[in-house]
Chains A and B, each alone.
Chain A
Amino acid sequence: MTKWYRDNAPITADGLADELMRLKRGSVTRRHFLGVTGLGLATAVLARQPGLFNSTAVAEDLGTQMSIATWPNYHDPATFEAFTAATGVAVEVNVFGSNEEMLAKLQAGGTGWDLFVPTNYTISTYVKLGLIDELDMSKLPNYDASTENPRFTNEGIVDGKTYAVPKNWGTTGIAVNSSKIKTPVASWKDFFEIAMTEADGRTMVHDYQLTTIGNALVSLGFSFNSIKPEELAKAEELLIKVKPHLYAINSDYQPAMRATDAWMTMCWTNDGAQLNRDIPDIKFVLGKDGGEIWSDFYAIPKSAANKAAGYALLNYLMAPENAVKEHIANGAPTTDSRVMKLLPAEVTSNKIVYPDETALTPLEFGAAVTLTDPGRAELMARFKAA
């Protein structure tokens, strides 16, 4: 039953409690908090210095706590609770808004993460910089390479060695509140036009160079991954023209979309599925002119202090019966045919989650070069500073 009459009401006590729990779980709030204070980083580092803040009850090899770095609204909190109940290892969840931010933290060292969720196009860079380990597959009996779709496993394998295994895949499309915006949105060209007209002051773009610049490029008819200066200059011109009309530049767009503060946003599959599930007026569309297809992986940082727990959680997440619960809660499509078999029909028939192959054809995977290209980084900074 929907609680439509409450949709626009002031926040209720329950709602406030939900938000507090969200905060406690470490949603975007924690990301900002960590970013602002550096406290998370500091405590994570300190907590891992043996003998400094250790509890005396360090008994088994898995330890008592571990830390995972991942994306907003990306996991079923019950997964981690169940893992803690099964192993006694508490999971601290750190949430990020871009791969650049994760890379920056890992490069700086001392993150304290034992497992993290990088996106396809970053993995070769992580390997090149020596920031991640080759996975010891003997510790991951629940992973089965033969049931994975090779389209999504390729980028986890560098020089024949497996450095990362896929979590799920997805797309970057447009979430649009159809009760507020009547013009149909079907492409990134439409997105930027409507952002300046019907959705003036109500549109969000990611705080993330890959997608914000990439989709601007696509709307102009260029490649999502372009690093050609003249094409980037056109994208910059468009973004700066659109900026005064934007509601916000933020990768955590669910709260604003749910509150109807924002009516349209760049949106990842899993968020699109969650938003549409809870508020059917919010539609998720793929740009017919292109955009991004992605897969997220699990990898273990070389600097992980509790690798045993990292492997244990990864193995736990690879078990199809656990992965299927994650899938249903978070909404991103699976790469594993064993999980596919366990999914209810209403999930597998959901066109947001499993779009037709023709809708996927124009989409591009992010390229390693866009991650490290200083031109795109500077463009993003100029856009935000404009």
Chain B
Amino acid sequence: MRAAMNTKRNLVTAALVAPAAAWLTVFLVLPFIAMLVFAFGERAPEGGYQVAFTFAQFANLPTRAAAFWNTLLLAPAGALLCLIVAYPVAYYLAVKANPRYRLILVSLVVVPFWTSLLVRTYAWMYILGSRGIPNLLAMIGIEDVRMLNTPGAVLLGIVYGYLPLMIMPIYVSLERLDRRLLEASADLGAKPVSTFFGVTLPLSLPGVTTGVALVTILLLGEYLIPQLLGGGKVFFIGNALVDLFLQSRNWPFGSAIAVTLVAVVVVVLMVAMRIAWRVAGTRQVDLV
């Protein structure tokens, strides 16, 4: 009887999980296996892939060291910059803003996502190009300022593009903040600054880690913003991949880089989750 119930429960579980599992298998696991197979193959003479078993592609990875280095530098730096801009905004939204307008303010953060990042990045090309801000500067006598296709433009584009992804998780974690803890902190004589660093910030750390992990992982694959706002001069892994698949038609090498990138993402994710668990875990134990 009990066994029968278990079997039935297992069947229900299996039925509920099956669509997601099938989806992941077809669109994630199988392509990844294909990529692994490619990575150990050779470039065919006319481009593409031909069957082989060689580690040559992985041995060739150092020739893209600059791309890896730029990416591994840019991703956390961009995430940190996003964090610096996003935290005060999220704090304001969750703690300071009038609850009546909160929903409107939060939607204002989300609404830009309804437009393609591509279109918004093109808008920045106008703002930063000669007819935008440099033109306004020329009117007050500052001539020939170049903003587009500079590293600064790339950073600006990244902060702009990824900001909502940083604001939302922090906002969510701050929104659940128990106000009584703040009052208790004040009652016990803590100044607002020490309350912030002793209570608010630690409680929002899970949101911060989620945001940083989310933005870092997405930035590891970034291609569009350096291409459009950086003029294609700064090379990231995303750009290296596009080149290898679309220009050199060197699928095996592209696959080897992609596999390596996935490995890096997995490591980043594991580290981030460890930090998040540690932070969230201990704090929750304290609270309960």
Contacts and interface: CB of A to CB of B under 8 A. Distances in A.
B130 interface: yes
B246 A372 contact: no
Interface in A25-71: 29, 32-33, 35-36
Contact of B243 (A10, A107, A381): A381
Decide if the interface of chain A is mainly helix, strand, loop or mixed.
Answer: helix
Contact of A385 (B48, B67, B126, B227): B67
A33 B121 CA distance: 11
Contacts of A35: 223, 242, 246
B102 interface: no
Interface residues of A, number: 46
Contacts of B45: 372
> A-B pairs with the 10 shortest C-beta distances?
A248-B231, A377-B248, A249-B232, A385-B235, A100-B247, A101-B246, A104-B246, A385-B66, A259-B130, A261-B130
Contacts of A128: 46
Contacts of A259: 129-131
B256 interface: no
B240 interface: yes
B82 interface: no
6 contacts: A19-B122, A259-B131, A261-B148, A372-B46, A372-B47, A384-B239
A100 B246 contact: yes
A374 B46 CA distance: 9
B76 interface: no
Nearest to B60: A378
Given A9-B135, A261-B129, A385-B64, A246 B231 contact: yes
Contacts of B248: 100, 374, 377-378, 380-381
A32 B130 contact: no
A247 interface: yes
Contact of A209 (B122, B129, B138, B247): B247
Given A9-B131, A23-B122, A36 B250 contact: no
A162 interface: no
B179 to A, nearest CB: 43
A105 B63 CA distance: 25
B132 A107 contact: no
A145 interface: no
A8 interface: yes
Given A32-B224, A201-B146, A107 B239 contact: no
A248 B247 contact: no
Contact of A382 (B47, B63, B126): B63
A309 B246 CA distance: 27
Interface of B: 43, 45-48, 63-64, 66-67, 116, 118-119, 122, 125-126, 129-132, 135-136, 138, 146, 148-149, 223-224, 227-228, 231-233, 235, 239-240, 242-250
Interface string A243-257: 100111110000110
Contacts of B46: 107, 125, 128-129, 372
A103 B149 contact: no
A11 interface: yes
A315 interface: no
Given A128-B46, A243-B233, 14 more contacts: A8-B130, A10-B131, A33-B118, A103-B249, A104-B249, A129-B46, A247-B231, A248-B231, A248-B232, A248-B233, A249-B232, A250-B231, A384-B233, A386-B66
Contacts of A380: 243, 247-248
Contacts of B146: 201, 261
A42 B102 CA distance: 39
Interface string A100-115: 1101110110000000
A386 B232 CA distance: 11
B47 A8 contact: no
A107 B43 CA distance: 13
Contacts of B119: 23, 29
A260 interface: yes
A11 B57 CA distance: 47
A223 interface: no
B112 to A, nearest CB: 17
Contact of B249 (A10, A11, A107, A246): A107
A125 B48 CA distance: 13
Nearest to B67: A385
Contacts of A372: 45-47
Nearest to A131: B46
A96 to B, nearest CB: 9
Contacts of B132: 10-11
Given A29-B118, A32-B227, A386-B66, A374 B250 contact: yes
A36 B129 contact: no
Contacts of A8: 130-131, 135, 138
A256 B229 CA distance: 12
A200 B15 CA distance: 64
A87 to B, nearest CB: 31
Given A10-B131, A29-B118, A103 B232 contact: no
B243 A384 contact: yes
A46 to B, nearest CB: 14
A377 B253 CA distance: 13
A249 B233 contact: yes
Contact of B240 (A209, A243, A385, A386): A385
A358 to B, nearest CB: 34
Nearest to B242: A35
Contacts of B247: 98, 100-101, 104, 209, 377, 380-381
A133 interface: no
B28 to A, nearest CB: 15
